[in-house]
Amino acid sequence: MAAREHKQRYGWMSGLATAFDLLFYVLTFAVAVALILAYCAPYVNPNTVYWFAFFGLAAPFIYIANALLMLYWTVRWRSIAWLSLAVFVLGLGNVGKYFRPQWGKTYEQPREEGTIRILSYNVGGFWGNTVGKPESKMRAIAEYIRAEDPDVVCMQEYEVNYINRRAVLDSLLEPLKYKAVYFAQTIRDNGGWGIAVYSKYPIVGKDHMVFPESQNSAMWVDIAVRKDTIRVFNNHLQTTQIDENDRKFLRTEPLSDTLRNDKAKGIARKLKRNFMKRAEQADSVALRIHDGTPRVIVCGDFNDTPMSYTYRRMRGDFVDAFKRKGQGMVFTYRRLMGVLRIDYLFHSDDFETVSYRSEQPEWSDHNPVIVDVRLKRD
């Protein structure tokens, strides 16, 4: 009797283990396919096939899931672990877009002589995440700029109105000898909203691009740096339009099944629409960026991840400064669990990357990107 009960209990447990393994086999294959689709996302225009972009957006989470499954099967000593490993190795070149090993303890190094420092920052309209008046945010950001002492400052979501008086920021930066160029995409009664470039070097040319049916824009300035002229692109590409209510839903706010489904579909529609808009904008700007002009720097808030069509088009054959000098895993968007790098600085091969940093001040929902570059000499 006891032997029969033991056999029944063992058979039940064995069946459960088999079902559990089967579930993990299916999950492993699904994650492997999802990761391959994420690898394809940068090469597929969302206006052609939009759903690849969703896999590109989720790439960091798919990477983590694949790594955990590979570890699980390795511990279980099952050959399917090779599938997870093979898929990981297939896209090994993409890992550097998210993570760069940090060897040993690092110390802040003094700025090297002869470098050009660029600071790119989505200032969030000077409203930020913390309590305080916009003008106080202006003062805090101006003090931060003074401390970092960049040669060129590129700002996105640069809002000027009856509260954020442009004269306030100008007066705060005036002692630093910046010469400013502004472009506001949307002009309102008391000001505008757009992007701005401040430069310590003379600005000898400028132009801009207005994106249709969008409040986003791009601009570029030619700057005389000693005996050379460099071109700097400042970009703010189509936003995701994920608002606070959407973020509450993503933080698993309890809702009825009907409301949950409606909300999920609404977010998916927003993402799809803006994937497509960003792709069109990236195609337009990329034609200007990669037109053969020498000594080009490209920065800004692209609102898309490194595994995206937007990233690939904007970067082209340029250098991603993070891949050269970044350390660890860097995020530039403070919301959505702090895993997204959507603010970038690229440069043509005329430069070498000397340093890369992304600080975490709380004056905006983005982190600034600070890069030192040096012109190569033949």
Q: Which residue has the higher pLDDT, 164 or 268?
A: 268
Residue 110: what pLDDT? 79
Query: How many Cβ atoms sit within 10 Å of the Cβ of residue 105?
Result: 5
> Which residue from 279, 308, 271 is spatially nearest to 42, judged by alpha carbons?
308
Structure pTM? 0.88
End residue of a domain, out of 95, 124, 158: 95
Residues 197 and 81 in one domain: no
The CA-based angle 174-180-181, given to 5 degrees, is 165
Residues 330 and 269 in one domain: yes
Interval 246-293: pLDDT, tens: 555 555 555 555 666 766 787 888 899 999 999 999 999 999 999 999
**Helix or strand or coil: residue 64?**
helix
Domain count, the chain: 2
Residues 73 and 120 in one domain: no
Residue 102 lies in a domain: no
Residue 91 lies in a domain: yes
Residues 147 and 80 in one domain: no
Residue 106: what pLDDT? 60
* Helix, strand, coil percent content, the chain, rounded in steps of 5: 45, 25, 30
Residues 197 and 278 in one domain: yes
Residues 161 and 30 in one domain: no
Structural tokens at position 170: 């100008």
Residue 107 lies in a domain: no
Residues 234 and 275 in one domain: yes
Residues 128 and 29 in one domain: no
| Rounded-to-integer distance, Cα 371 and Cα 326, Å | 10
Residues 84 and 232 in one domain: no
| Rounded-to-integer distance, Cα 300 and Cα 233, Å | 8
Specify the DSSP class assigned to residue 340. Answer: B
**Helix or strand or coil: residue 54?**
helix
Query: How many Cβ atoms sit within 10 Å of the Cβ of residue 375?
Result: 17
Residue 352: give the domain boundaries: 116-375
Residues 136 and 207 in one domain: yes
Residues 300 and 360 in one domain: yes
